[in-house]
Amino acid sequence: MIARTINRNCKDDALLAERLPINPDGDDLFHACSDGMVMIHMLNHIQPDSIDMRTVNTGSTLNVYKVRENLAQAFAVAKTLIKVVAIDGQTFLDKTPHLMLGILWQLVRLLSMKSISLSDCPELYRLLNDGEDLAALLKLKAEDILIRWMNFHLSAAGQEKITNLGNDLKDSRKLIYVLN
């Protein structure tokens, strides 16, 4: 899922042409992301211009110092958006899979949440609570809209509602009801 999301969201980024598409069935993800360029582009898709591309070292044969500079920039911005604990650029240089996946998963989650809006999904108006107007729904964060959407479908299936996208979904039972 991570590789597919990166492929879909970053396919038109010229600087990533030699890294994409990432094969989701192998370890290409770790090699493609090890120099920080994919992470930089993901961050700019999540929050446009969060990293000034004029300050990024580009090219296919960057030395380790230039790669470290890119990774430092990426992590400086990432720390403002996601949880980054005991993970840094060295993790990506070493291609430590489980730690890289922790960072990439959080970025993919933000990318995916970004597309949840009334302009992209006008049928979300059905999620309005009694007495609530459209303006109130527009003010909700994407995560809150997703929770409301899941609860809409869980209620239709006669299931208990959720309050979060973490512990309430960890056994995947609620997700199965929503998918069905």
| pLDDT tens by residue, 129-154 | 888 887 787 787 878 888 888 888 89
Residue 65 in tokens:
């110092």
Write down the domain spans for the chain: 2-114, 122-179
Beta-carbon contacts of residue 105 (< 8 Å; ≥ 6 apart):
2
Residues 69, 59: Cα–Cα separation, whole Å: 13
The pLDDT score that the predictor gives to residue 117 is 65
**Considering only CA atoms, which of 76, 124, 105 is closest in space to residue 165?**
105
CA 103 to mean position of chain CA atoms:
9
Homologous superfamily, domain 122-179: Calponin-like domain (1.10.418.10)
The string of pLDDT tens digits covering residues 77-132 is 999 988 888 888 899 999 999 999 999 998 998 888 776 666 667 777 778 888 88
> Considering the entire predicted model, what is its pTM?
0.73
Q: What is the mean pLDDT of the chain?
A: 87
Same fold, 2-114 and 122-179: yes
Report, at the CATH architecture level, how domain 2-114 is classified: Orthogonal Bundle (1.10)
